[in-house]
Amino acid sequence: MSRNIYAFLVTILLLFQNCSGQKKDTKFYDKDFKWSIQIPKDFTKVSAKEWAEKQQRGENALEKTTGEEVINEAKTIFVFKTDDMNYFEANYQPFDINIDGDYRENNRNVNHALYQTFRDNMPNARIDTLSSTEKIDSLFFYKYETKIYLPNNQILDIIMYSKLFDKKEFTVNIMFTDPKCGKEMIDAWKNSKFEK
């Protein structure tokens, strides 16, 4: 399995597991990407230790499903949540076009692999997807939206934004079943700033 979809798939698997969080400051700044964002006030931070434990369980599940070893090179920037079905996560991982190939083509392949993984693991769910680009603080990001209509009448929305910064792929994942929480995360992301 491509390393570029590992962190995202693990995150999706974690949506169906409980996790506890810690209260946090609402302002967040990442010096590597010179990125600042205001986290919605009712969200709690998921601890690094807890996230690592859940990533290991997710990795085991993915390896069982795909029959392939997954290599996790993603570094978590943050994970916040409210309830157990609304997650706001950012990460980065190495991506060198001289080794990994064309970034745009990679995004198409990742989107296809994500759709196929959801289809294989949720055969009774209706799944709609949309690929596009979107400008966030004057920077263009690839955007991949997935809407999963679950058999229990819940709708899971997943929005993945990604951009290549030199040799690092930066990704923001927004996952929600509560449209109000989803709007809060989307608004926070769209209002975030990257220092030029």
- Look at the alpha carbons of 80, 41, 85, 189 in this order and tell me if their dihedral is positive or negative: negative
Counting every residue written for the chain, the total comes to 196
Distance CA 156, CA 130 (A): 14
- The model's pTM is 0.83
The neighbour count for residue 117, using CB atoms within 10 Å, is 18
Q: Provide φ and ψ at 20, rounded to 5°.
A: -100, 155
Give pLDDT, residue 78.
93
pLDDT profile of the chain (196 residues), mean per 10: 52 48 69 97 84 66 63 87 88 95 91 82 90 97 96 93 97 95 97 95
Residue identified by tokens 């929600």 is 176
The pLDDT, as a whole number, for residue 62 is 57
What's the confidence (pLDDT) of residue 16? 47
By C-alpha distance, which of 96, 68, 48 is closest to 6? 68
Q: Tell me if 145 sits within 8 A of 157, measured CB to CB.
A: yes
48-66 and 103-121 helices cross at what angle (nearest 10)? 80
- Beta strands 86-94; 27-30: pairing state: unpaired
